[in-house]
Structure 1
Amino acid sequence: MELCKIATFIVIAAALLVPTVAAQGTGSHNYIVTPAGDTMLEDGPVFMPMNVGSITQGETDWYSLNVAAGTTKLTIDLNWGDSSDSLRLTVYAPDTVLGPYYDSYDGTTNGRIYMSIEDSVGLYPGTWWFEVYGADVDGTEDYTFGWR
């Protein structure tokens, strides 16, 4: 009985150490959204296109990407580097809406939303839209936004 309690404690402790993962089912698609962490080291550092923008309180900027059939992973990087301002990212796939996501999504407040969206059967092909919103911005905040 004591061994069972220890094993339960270990499982719970391990679960608390895992970054936030959100799965969103949309019919035949089951998107797994996770903080990207060190995927830059695995996938290479290039984000294309690398969009440079600026945003103010309450302003919205839009970006779009045509996701090809067979694509199984998309890594997104919204980086403004100033944790005193807050930006929000919402992802509009052709079949669902993911988010909204804020700076603290990955457990660290660092002026960055760096995340991966995966589906082993493939992401829904078509135009994906990304909404960057100035949720709490003092003045004007510069940022970069890209994907790979």
Structure 2
Amino acid sequence: MKVSVTSLAILVCAIVLISGVSAQGTDNRSAGYTVSPAGSLHMPAIMSPMTVGTISQGETDWHTASVPSGKSSLTVDLNWGYVPDSLALTVIAPDGTLGPYYDADDGATDGRIFITISRSGGIAPGTWRFKVYGMTVLGTQSYNFTPY
């Protein structure tokens, strides 16, 4: 099959655009939250403690974060850094469930899910839970998890 340069360029642009916006927008199950890529250079003023974990294929790990009232957004960084392994992240807010999210949902396929969750009027205070699932893992995969 012969593919023209124009067709190839359109296909590449479509793939880049789809992966770049997949985490953007509002999830109908998410109580009005907007989830968007956090960006690779985003550094918080005060960093929450990082949790180091390991996971195997089919395994589920749980993490929590206490969110005070008046907070307008929450950034979540799940970083395993090994692209061949695939992890999924589901966020359970006090008032809704977001996700699951996958490696490319933050706009880059890099062994990391790096998203910011926001909502006009602020995000729900209380205990937020995070489900990390080992979708495709060869052996055991270590990861870092930081909500802030």
TM-score tier after normalising by the smaller chain length: 0.7 to 0.9
Matching residue of 2:82: 82
TM-score, length basis structure 1: 0.80
How far does residue 17 in structure 1 lie from its aligned partner after superposition?
8.8
TM-score, length basis structure 2: 0.80
Q: List runs of 5+ in structure 2 lacking aligned partners.
A: 1-13
Check whether the contact 1:26–1:95 (CA below 8 A) recurs between aligned residues. no
How far does residue 93 in structure 1 lie from its aligned partner after superposition?
0.5
- Larger strand proportion, structure 1 or 2? 1
RMSD: 2.3
The residue type equivalent to 1:32 in the other structure is T
> Number of aligned pairs?
131
Change (3 A) 1:68 1:55: same
Matching residue of 1:111: 111
Matching residue of 1:135: 135
Q: List runs of 5+ in structure 1 lacking aligned partners.
A: 1-12
- Please give the alpha-carbon distance, in whole angstroms, between the structure 1 residues aligned to 2:83 and 2:119: 30
Identity percentage over the alignment? 49
The CA deviation string for residues 61-80 of structure 1, in whole angstroms up to 9 with x for no partner, is 10011111111010110000
- Please give the alpha-carbon distance, in whole angstroms, between the structure 1 residues aligned to 2:41 and 2:59: 30
Check whether the contact 1:19–1:34 (CA below 8 A) recurs between aligned residues. no
Change (3 A) 1:85 1:133: same
- Please give the alpha-carbon distance, in whole angstroms, between the structure 2 residues aligned to 1:70 and 1:35: 22
The CA deviation string for residues 110-140 of structure 1, in whole angstroms up to 9 with x for no partner, is 1000000011201011111000010100000
